[in-house]
Structure 1
Amino acid sequence: MTEICEATLNDGERTCSNKARYSDGKCGVHSSHSDSNTGGSVEDDDMARFLKRERRDPSVGKATFNSRQTGLRALTEWLEAEGPEDVRDMTPLDVEDYVIWLQSGEGRGICDVTAQDYVNELSVFIQFLQKKGEDMENPVREADLQLDPSPEMSKRLKDDQGYVAMSTDQFEELMNHLPAPTARNQLLFQLMWDCGLRPIEATQIEYEDDIDREKRQINVYSTKTGTNRVVFYSETAETMLAEWLDWGERSRFNPAEDSPYLFISRESETITTWTINQVFRKAAEAAGLHEEEVYRDAKGSPQYDLKPYSLRHSFAERMIDRGVDLETLRQTMGHSDIGTTKRYVNPDLETRRLRIQSALDD
């Protein structure tokens, strides 16, 4: 029988029903667990206090808080799996090992840019411990991480080809091959397709505060520009939204009652961009959309033209084709500079070829 967490929540009236993941019998999902004194656990008193302060700090935005929380969860998982017993015992070499784990298949499989973000969250937490009076050095400062967090490392190969959009046929194939949980994943990619969402934006949608179902619109916060915007979705997405929210699909997940987020996992109150990438890759491979790799990254992982961002690019192209003016599109996509929006007037080489040849053949 699967061991259940059963940690007492801070309201003192309920116990956690999530699957236990760590050696102390806890699930590692809730920072609100109040009965654990295990140093390496996510319910560590200092971690809980740190997150509580961050949540209440008006200068800390929702995206920053999510990053803090995600970073501590990854740190906790690594500490439990192979790190020292306590974060206070970490050395610069441990930080380097942590980064190696983060970028491995056993960890998060993330790129240099994201790994640097995780390390930054570790450093912020250590600074909190130092401010609290802990007699410790910050091991991050002496670690040789060998990371290149420059924007050039995170952007795709688009020097000559431009961005890569997904065609309607490809999108339909993707939707037909989505892995479980199907109801969640169909809604996720339909909204990204309808609204031109960045993956990180999809993870932060709160189903009660951000969605106006009568008007079929969503208030979206952009971590990239630090601004809010309103996007609109289709009747198809509304039907999927009803299945997810009204017909009980979301409530099947353990964090459903406590999480404000639209997209949750079976163990966490919100999904991550890593999850979105993994779901997309599985569906694309099953649909035959990833038959030819473009290149391999520094870790030897194959990279392909089509990625979750392709849905956002396709949204922009479709809006241009339907005559939406550039300023409306700029606001809808959350671009701070209209020059970014203008690139969709001059799409990738293959799309230009198809458009010109179609015009010539008419």
Structure 2
Amino acid sequence: MNNTSEIDDRKAERAIEALGADNEKSENSIATWQSDARQFLKWYADNGVEESAVDAERFEIVDYLEYCDENFHPNTVASRHGSLKKFFGLVAGEYLNFREDNPFTKVEEVRSQPNEDPMQKEQGDDFIPHISAEEKEQLAENVPNPRIRNELIIRMLWQTGMREHEIRNLKISHIDREQRIITVHSSKTGTRKVAYQQNVDTLLTQWLDGGYRDRFASATDSPYVFVSRKNEQLAKSRVNDVVKKGAKAAGIQESLGTDAAGKERWKVTTHCLRHSFAIQSLRNGMNLRYLQELMGHEKLETTEKYLIEVESDALEQQKHIGPGTEKSD
């Protein structure tokens, strides 16, 4: 895990220091602002596109807050939202003037004006986009080229529940191929271990040992499992592009309407596969606390949201094999 002191982002640190200049606020409030801003700084060091967090784009800030939605209590999310609003207000204001625009204005538009698409209204607030095991097979069979790499990505996401940035950051040294265990390193949630099944062995061997990965010049000096033709590591949006294109080709993609910024939202994404991992694990009988550990959730309540998706399964089971369905002699 990164320490804040190891992150060389002087502009962002200058802005964090400036948060302490508000003499009208208590020391506790200022400490909270600065702590929240440093949490974003740590996240951005691993996941951001620009050199400095002060140059973050709207979609990157939204990604971070969605990560917070998934892993922290709503009060914590609200605190970080407010702190980042103040942080970017300073960054784009006359006092620092590090950038001309304030990206947080658009962030608030997206997060405070949820999509009113009829499909979403019908789905309800508890809707969690996910796919079935059969749809996963269709997805894996319809990925774009390079097929070996991209099918391996799909199957690993399905079987491990890794986040998009976690599979992008996956190194060859993180995989114990004999035990089929992956050590997932994340600056957000620390280190955890996940397993994959024997049926992934062939694809993984083809990719790593069969010459498919070595066809990319970038693979020569890259420690990462997944490389591209030009880069030793996949670009931030590449994994999600693979998933969305494969889903469209398989005929399982669905539009969820548009967000407040007019950007179309799709059902089958990398995060959808993470949801699918959780729901399929529960359907297969996995203990909820074990699932919490595998997903890297800080709070059990975060994992509990998936139970609603398997309640209907329990009712169907009761109808077919519950007491009273046994045959009389």
TM range (shorter): 0.5 to 0.7
Q: Which has the higher helix share?
A: 2
Is the CA contact 1:175–1:186 (under 8 Å) kept in the aligned structure 2? yes
1:147 paired residue among 89, 102, 106? 106
Change (3 A) 1:282 1:318: same
Structure 2's unaligned 5+ residue stretches are 1-7, 10-37, 66-83, 322-329
Q: Distance in 2 between matches of 1:114 and 1:342?
A: 22
Q: Which residue of 2 aligns with 1:88?
A: none
Q: Distance in 2 between matches of 1:232 and 1:149?
A: 38
Change (3 A) 1:233 1:192: same
Are 1:314 and 2:276 matched, yes or no? yes
Deviation at residue 185 of structure 1 after TM alignment:
0.6
Q: Which residue of 1 aligns with 2:196?
A: 233
Is the CA contact 2:130–2:272 (under 8 Å) kept in the aligned structure 1? yes
Higher relative contact order (CA 8 A, sep 6+): 2
Q: Which residue of 2 aligns with 1:113?
A: 62
Deviation at residue 198 of structure 1 after TM alignment:
1.0
Provide TM-score, normalisation by structure 2.
Answer: 0.65
Write out aligned runs for 1:1-362 (5 A): 65-67=45-47, 70-72=49-51, 110=59, 113=62, 139-145=97-103, 146-148=105-107, 152=111, 160-208=125-173, 210-225=174-189, 227-290=190-253, 292-347=254-309, 352-353=311-312, 356-357=315-316, 359-361=318-320
Change (3 A) 1:67 1:238: same
Is the CA contact 1:201–1:223 (under 8 Å) kept in the aligned structure 2? no
Q: Distance in 2 between matches of 1:249 and 1:175?
A: 17
Q: Distance in 2 between matches of 1:285 and 1:306?
A: 9
Change (3 A) 1:254 1:139: farther
Does the residue aligned with 2:191 lie in a helix, a strand or coil? strand
**Percent identity over the alignment?**
30
What code does the residue aligned with 2:62 have? V
Deviation at residue 268 of structure 1 after TM alignment:
1.3
Q: Distance in 2 between matches of 1:142 and 1:286?
A: 41
Q: Distance in 1 between matches of 2:164 and 2:138?
A: 20
Deviation at residue 160 of structure 1 after TM alignment:
2.5
Structure 1's unaligned 5+ residue stretches are 1-49, 52-58, 74-94, 104-109, 128-136
Q: Distance in 1 between matches of 2:125 and 2:233?
A: 36
Is the CA contact 1:63–1:204 (under 8 Å) kept in the aligned structure 2? no
Deviation at residue 295 of structure 1 after TM alignment:
0.9
Give the root-mean-square deviation of aligned CA atoms.
3.9
What code does the residue aligned with 2:50 have? G
Q: Distance in 2 between matches of 1:153 and 1:170?
A: 33
Q: Distance in 1 between matches of 2:50 and 2:127?
A: 32
Provide TM-score, normalisation by structure 1.
Answer: 0.60
CA distances 1:297-317 after superposition (whole Å, capped 9, x unpaired): 244332232222122122212
Q: Distance in 2 between matches of 1:221 and 1:164?
A: 26
Q: Distance in 2 between matches of 1:240 and 1:153?
A: 43
